[in-house]
Structure 1
Amino acid sequence: MLDKNALQQLRQLKTHIIDTKDQGEGEVRGSQRRFGFVRLDDKRDVFLAPDDMQRVFPGDRVKITVHTDDKGKFKAELEKLIDSPLDCFTGRYVVRGQGHFVEPDLPRFNKLLFIPPSQRKKCAEGDLLYCQVAQHPFKDGKSQVKVLENIGSPDQPGIEGKYTQRKFKLPRDWPASAGITEDVYLNDREDLRELPFVTIDAAETRDLDDALWAQSNDKGWLLKVAVADPGAVIAPGSPIDLAAKLRASSVYLPGFNQPMMPNSVSQGACSLLANEDRPAIVCTMQISTDGAISDVQFSEALIHSQGKLSYNDVHADIHGEMDLALPSLKDLYTASQALNKYRREHHIVMPEQADFHFQLNEQRKIEAIVKVERNDAHRLVEECMLAANRSAAEWLGDDPALFVSHAGLREDRLDNVRKVMAKELPELGDCDISTLAGYKALIKACDTSSSSLPLRSTFARMLQPGTISAEAAPHFGLGLERYTTFTSPLRKYSDLIVQRCIRAKLRGETIQRPDEDTATALQDAIRNGRQASNQMEQWLQYQYLATNTSDTVYPARIAHVNGGGFTVELEDLGINGFVEARTIPEKLSFDADTLRLYNDHNSYQLEQKVNVKVSELDDFQRKLMFILA
């Protein structure tokens, strides 16, 4: 037997071995293949072999021992499962021989999960499922799931919308007491029903947030933007208010929409419908002949829209192709031109992008994709909305509200931008592009540069995303010191909050400043809705593309470039897919500064026109690969 000293020495040796091991905790990350990685808290990426990858899910938090081979490469040995956030998910029913599985619809998740016989119910191969993890594979590499719902078969009309709603957990039901109250501010409203306000939107739109009126005067134009006032009939904390807050925004899916508020409110009681009295928050601005904004005032008002106009009709009226007999349209157009001119001189105007309209058939599949170019009516409305929102941010000052900010270029890409500037824009010298003034100077230099590189598009791929915050901060994308939005309160809950803040200031009431947790939750919900919309559009687009022959050639432009290849957008359809660099003869080098792939014979960069053909397409997995034609 070992004496006490020997036992103590063994314990100390065991402790020493454990202490000297290179161990750490991190998150499992999948790849396009069977292996994966663990991103440790110290930022190291450690290789996870296929056999070990079978024991974990992407997103799992694990403890590992790090081994280093003779070439200095890290390899992970799994020690402990700390947390597994994967619970419920959607996927596709798959049969492999005698085995029945679900193929999870999750990013970089390359494994099938076993469905035991008791859970198969009446599912058929290809059915779309909503499942829950019943057994984690960490112990023995074997996982099991429970089928919570058979969403439907892939050929069921409208299945894409039903599936997307379930995948992104978009709420569809309203509380039983989702009613509205009487307008509690009616007696104090300014009566503007005699002013000929009009709404300008798509012909099919019913949730009308804003109405416009302008009149020329000796200083330029008096512009009034009237915004629907749902806060007058929806009390904070009421069932309908909490339901709208949970949704955060309306989500527009092809043939399948989720409104932020019930249609009875967003398309009825609070919509600024023509020939109806409606409560509104009105922003009044004096627009000078050079487009500057002054004398900003806000009021609670009662308005009576005198026309629901479409973009196409207003554009035709502006250019003398139609007479809508509304004199204010001419003043609205000339005022919007002055506003745009001022923004181009003093702020930043973002490049325009075409919209793509889906025409659906009875099966709710795309029958045709129509490219819709923006016209002068779209620009008119955009300038008026921007003017009202800019004015709201300035008028609110440091009072409680939510703001929209944009922090400019990503910090990790500043050096890339400076290298390009030194070569292509040497006149900027020591311009500090991390400041708003410096960024504005950079963009204006791009717009006037004679460089052969698409500078503005290149820098746009290096920007941070915009955010909603409780504190005012610069909006680099618009070139503004501060910015907010209040003009879409029927569609965006953050706008409803800002509108309530405006009312509180008008009435001299105190209002609790929205906190960052609220701003973050709204941002996350809006992002979730946007992802839902994008993924369903991709699904339908890829189905539509699959109806064409594999030899069909599509004109496209390069929309993004990385070391592995480039994303292209089909010019006539707006569909995005990827061209792998390895499919192009002769190896390509990647320039991370200019986002360009090149060799001695060819070069591929942003905005370049190319012709492509489909090489691989999976509409469910939203995988679309092109090759150059």
Structure 2
Amino acid sequence: MLDKNALQQLRQLKTHIVETKDQGEGEVRGSQRRFGFVRLDDNRDVFLAPDDMQRVFPGDRVKITVHTDDKGKFKAELEKLIDSPLDCFTGRYVVRGQGHFVEPDLPRFNKLLFIPPSQRKKCAEGDLLYCQVAQHPFKDGKSQVKVLESIGSPDQPGIEGKYTQRKFKLPRDWPASCGITEDTYLDGREDLRELPFVTIDSAETRDLDDALWAQSNDQGWLLKVAVADPGAVIAPGSPADIAAKQRASSVYLPGFTQPMIPNSISQGACSLLADEDRAAIVCTLQVSVDGDISDIQFSEALIRSHAKLSYNDVHTHIHGEMDLGYPSLNELYAASQALNRYRREHHIVMPEQPDFHFQLNEQRKIESIVKVERNDAHRLVEECMLAANRSVAQWLGDAPALFVSHAGLREDRLDNVRKVIAKELPELGDCDISSLEGYKALIKACDTSESSLPLRSIFARMLQPGSISAEPKPHFGLGLERYSTFTSPLRKYSDLIVQRCIRAKLRGETIQRPDEETATSLQEALRNGRQASNQMEQWLQYQYLATNTSDTVYSARIAHVNGGGFTVELVNYGISGFVEARTITEKLSFDADTLRLHSAHSNYQLEQIVNVKVSELDDFQRKLMFILA
């Protein structure tokens, strides 16, 4: 037997071995192949071999021992599973020989999870499922799932929408008491029903948020933007309000809309329908001949839209090709042009992008894709909405509100931007590009530069994302000191909150200031809704592309570039896919400053037009690879 001293020495030796080990905690990250990585809390990426990757899920938090080989590369040895956030997920039923599995629809998740016989529920190969993890593979590398719902077969009409709703957990049901209480909410408002407000929107739109009117005067134009007022009938904390907050926004999926507010309200009681009395928050602005805004006023009003007009008809009217009979349209157009000129001189005007409209067939698949270019009616409405929204941010001052901010260039890309400036825009060498004024100067210099590089596009790929905040912050993308939005309260809960802040200030009432937690949760919900819409569109787009022959050649615009290749967007369809650099015969070098791949003979740059063909397509996994034609 060992004496006490020997036992103590063994314990100390064991402690010393543990203490001298390079250990850490981090998150498991998958890859396109069977191996993975662990991103440690100290930001090191440690290689995780395929066998160990079989024991964990991407997103798991684990404790590892880090081993370093003779080349200085890190390799992980799994020690402990700390947390596994993966619970419920969607996927596709797969049969491999005698084994039945689900292929999870999760990013960088390259493994099949076993479905035991008791859970197969007469599902067929290819069926889309909603599952729950029943057994984690950490101990023995074997996992199991429980099938919660068979969503449907891939050939079922409309399955893409049903699946997308389940995958992104979009609320599908409304509380029983989600209507409105009829009362005197229209009483005591400023009566503006005689003013010939009109709505301008797509012909099929029913949730009409805004109506416009303008009249010329000695200073320029008096502009009124009337915005639907759902807050007049939806009380804070009511069932309809709770449901709207949970949804955060309307989600526009191909073929149908997932509304934030029940259709009886968003398309009925509060929609600014023609010839109906409606409650509205009205923003009144004096627009000068130069496009400057002064004398900002807000009011709770009663309005009546005199017509529902389409973008195409208004565009035709303002160019004199037809007469819609509403003189204020010409005044609106003139005011919008002045507003646009002012923004170009003092702020930032973002580049326009075309829209793509899907024509769906009876199976709810894409039958055709129509490219829709923006016209002057779209620009008219956009300028009026921007004017009202930047005005409300100014008018609210220090009152409680939510704001939309944009922090400008990413800090980790500032050096790249400065290198480009030194070569292409040397006159901006002393410019503080991290400040709002410096960024505006940068963009204006890009617009007048004779550089052969697409400078605005390059810098746009180096920007931080926008965000919702409870405090006013600069919006670099628009070149504004502060910005808020209230013009889409039927579709965005943050706009409904801002409308309530406007009402509180008008009435001299105290309202609780929204906190950053509220702003963050709304931001996450908005991001989730956008991802749902984008992924369903992508799914249908890839199905549509699969109906063409493999040798079809497409014209495409290079939209993003990295060391592995470049993303292209098909010019006539708006469909995006990836061209791998390794499929190009010559060796290419990546320039991280100008975002281009190049060799002595070739150059692949943002905004460049190339011809491509499809090389690999999987509509369910949303994988689309092109090769140069």
TM-score range, shorter chain: over 0.9
Q: Distance in 2 between matches of 1:512 and 1:323?
A: 48
| 2:459 corresponds to | 459
- Give the structure 2 partner of residue 569 of structure 1: 569
Tell me the residue number matched to 2:550.
Answer: 550
Q: Letter of the aligned partner of 1:490 in structure 2?
A: L
User: How many residue pairs get matched?
Assistant: 629
Deviation at 1:179, TM superposition (A): 1.3
Partner of 2:583: 583
Aligned partner of 2:399 in structure 1 is: 399
What is the root-mean-square deviation of aligned Cα atoms in Å? 0.5
Alpha-carbon separation, structure 1, partners of 2:571 and 2:20: 58
Residue in structure 1 matched with residue 322 of structure 2 by the alignment: 322
Task: Return 5+ residue gaps in structure 1 as ranges.
Answer: none
- The question of whether the paired residues in 1 share the 8 Å contact of 2:214 and 2:328 is answered with yes
Q: Secondary structure at the match of 1:130?
A: strand
Listed as ranges, the matches of 1:49-60 within 5 Å are: 49-60=49-60
Decide whether the 8 Å contact of 1:47 with 1:75 is kept in 2.
yes
- Amino acid corresponding to residue 66 of structure 2 in structure 1: V
* 2:77 corresponds to: 77
Q: Please name the residue that 1:229 is paired with.
A: 229
Structure 2 residue identity aligned to 1:541: Q
Q: CA deviation at 1:244?
A: 0.2
CA–CA separation in structure 2 for the residues paired with 1:562 and 1:587 = 14
Deviation at 1:587, TM superposition (A): 1.0
Task: Provide the secondary structure at the position in 2 that maps to 1:604.
Answer: strand
Matching of residue 274 in structure 1 with residue 265 in structure 2: no
Distance in 2 of aligned mates of 1:186 and 1:360: 40
Q: Residue in 2 aligned with 1:201?
A: 201
**1:157 is the counterpart of 2:157:** yes
Amino acid at match of 1:358: F
Deviation for aligned residue 1:68: 0.3
Q: Distance in 1 between matches of 2:42 and 2:496?
A: 41
**Aligned: 1:358 with 2:355:** no
1:292 offset after TM fit, Å?
0.2
Is residue 254 of structure 2 the alignment partner of residue 250 of structure 1? no
Letter in 1 for 2:225: V
> Which amino acid in 2 is paired with 1:278?
R
Letter in 1 for 2:263: N
Q: CA deviation at 1:320?
A: 1.0
- Report the alpha carbon displacement of residue 585 of structure 1 after superposing the two structures with TM: 0.8
SS of 1:208's equivalent in the other structure is coil
Within a 5 Å distance, the mapping from 1:296-375 to structure 2 comes to 296-375=296-375
Distance in 1 of aligned mates of 2:254 and 2:82: 40
1:585-619 per-residue CA deviation (whole Å, 9 max, x = no partner) reads: 11110000000100111010100010000000000
Q: How many Å separate the matches in 1 of 2:611 and 2:492?
A: 39
**Whole-angstrom CA distance in 1 between matches of 2:190 and 2:618:** 57
Query: What is the CA–CA distance in structure 2 between the aligned matches of 1:279 and 1:64, rounded to whole Å?
Result: 61
Residue 181 of structure 1 and its aligned partner are, at CA, apart by 2.1
1:256 Cα deviation from its structure 2 partner = 2.6
Q: Which digits, 9 at most, give the CA deviation of each residue in 1:334-384, with x for residues without a partner? A: 000000000000000000000000000000000000000000000000000
Amino acid at match of 1:442: L
In the alignment, does 2:90 pair up with 1:95? no
> Match for residue 180 of structure 1?
180
User: Partners in 1 of 2:427 and 2:49 — Cα distance?
Assistant: 51
The DSSP-based 3-state class of the residue aligned with 2:261 is coil
Cα distance in 1 for partners of 2:191, 2:522 equals 34
Distance between the aligned counterparts of 1:161 and 1:429, measured in 2?
Answer: 51
1:457-536 → structure 2 map (5 Å cutoff):
457-536=457-536
Instruction: Output the CA distance in 1 between the equivalents of 2:184 and 2:554.
Output: 57
Task: Give the CA deviation at 1:573.
Answer: 0.2
Structure 1 counterpart of 2:232, which letter? A
Return the offset for 1:113: 0.2
Structure 2 CA distance for aligned equivalents of residues 536 and 23 of structure 1: 42
> Could you say which residue in structure 2 is the equivalent of 1:39?
39
Aligned twin of 2:438: 438
2:109 maps to 109
Tell me, which stretches of 5 or more residues in structure 2 are unaligned? none
Shift of 1:183: 5.2
Normalised by the size of structure 2, how large is the TM-score?
A: 1.00
SS of 2:370 mapped into structure 1: strand
1:186 alignment partner, SS class: coil
Q: Is the 8 A contact 1:420 1:594 kept in 2?
A: yes
Q: Secondary structure at the match of 2:187?
A: helix
- 2:281/2:298 contact within 8 Å kept: yes
Q: Is the 8 A contact 1:100 1:116 kept in 2?
A: yes
Letter in 2 for 1:349: V
Cα displacement string for residues 377-421 of structure 1 (whole angstroms, at most 9, x for unaligned residues): 000000000000010000001110000000000000000000000
What SS class does the counterpart of residue 91 from structure 2 fall into? strand
Q: 2:378 is matched with which residue? A: 378
Aligned-pair identity in percent equals 90
Residue 61 (structure 2) pairs with residue 66 (structure 1): no
Deviation of the 1:257 alpha carbon: 1.5
Q: Which residue of structure 2 lines up, in the alignment, with residue 618 of structure 1?
A: 618
SS at match of 2:400: coil
SS of aligned partner of 1:187: coil
The letter for the 2-side match of 1:510 is T
Matched AA of 1:305: S
| Alignment partner, residue 136 of structure 2 | 136
Q: CA deviation at 1:450?
A: 0.1
Check the 8 A contact 1:208/1:273 in 2, yes or no: yes
Retained in 2: the 8 A contact 1:184–1:232?
no
Kept after mapping to 2: 8 A contact 1:134/1:144: yes
Do the aligned residues in 2 keep the contact of 1:356 with 1:370 (CA within 8 Å)?
A: yes
Alignment correspondent of 2:448: 448
Kept after mapping to 1: 8 A contact 2:186/2:278: no
Whole-Å Cα distance in 1 between the matches of residues 184 and 77 of structure 2? 65
Alpha carbons 1:184, 1:233 under 8 Å: kept: no
**Amino acid across the alignment from 1:84:** S
1:170 is aligned to 170
Question: Does the CA-based 8 Å contact 1:183-1:232 persist in structure 2?
Answer: no
Report the Cα distance in structure 1 between the residues aligned to 2:185 and 2:335, rounded to whole angstroms. Answer: 31
Contact 1:68 1:75 in 2 (8 A): yes
The residue type paired with residue 111 of structure 1 is: K
Matches of 1:209 and 1:353 in 2, distance apart?
Answer: 23
Tell me the equivalent position of 1:219: 219
